[in-house]
Chains A and B, each alone.
Chain A
Amino acid sequence: NAGVMQNPRHLVRRRGQEARLRCSPMKGHSHVYWYRQLPEEGLKFMVYLQKENIIDESGMPKERFSAEFPKEGPSILRIQQVVRGDSAAYFCASSPNTFNYGYTFGSGTRLTVV
Chain B
Amino acid sequence: TQLLEQSPQFLSIQEGENLTVYCNSSSVFSSLQWYRQEPGEGPVLLVTVVTGGEVKKLKRLTFQFGDARKDSSLHITAAQPGDTGLYLCAGLQTGANNLFFGTGTRLTVIP
Interface residue? A1 (CB, 8 A): no
Q: Could you tell me if B42 and A91 are in contact, using CB atoms closer than 8 angstroms?
A: yes
- Give complex CA distance A72, B101 in Å: 30
Q: Which of A41, A42, A56, A108 touches B42 (beta carbons < 8 Å)?
A: A108
- Give complex CA distance A98, B13 in Å: 38
Minimum distance in angstroms from A63 CB to a CB of chain B: 21
Q: Which residues, 93 to 111 on B, are CB-close (under 8 Å) to A?
A: 97-104, 106
- Give complex CA distance A59, B33 in Å: 20
Q: Which of B50, B101, B106 touches A43 (beta carbons < 8 Å)?
A: B101
Q: A103 contacts which chain B residues (CB < 8 A)?
A: 33, 43, 45, 99
Chain B interface residue count, Cβ-Cβ cutoff 8 angstroms: 23
Q: Which of B33, B40, B103, B106 touches A102 (beta carbons < 8 Å)?
A: B33
- Give complex CA distance A58, B101 in Å: 15
- Give complex CA distance A104, B41 in Å: 12
Task: Take A43-B43, A43-B88 as given contacts and tell me if A100 and B99 are in contact as well, using a CB distance cutoff of 8 Å.
Answer: yes
- Give complex CA distance A101, B97 in Å: 12
Q: Which residues, 1 to 58 on B, are CB-close (under 8 Å) to A?
A: 31, 33, 35, 40-45, 48, 50
Q: A33 contacts which chain B residues (CB < 8 A)?
A: 98-99
Chain B residues with CB under 8 Å of chain A are 31, 33, 35, 40-45, 48, 50, 88, 90, 92, 97-104, 106
- 3 closest cross-chain pairs (CB), A and B: A105-B42, A56-B97, A43-B101
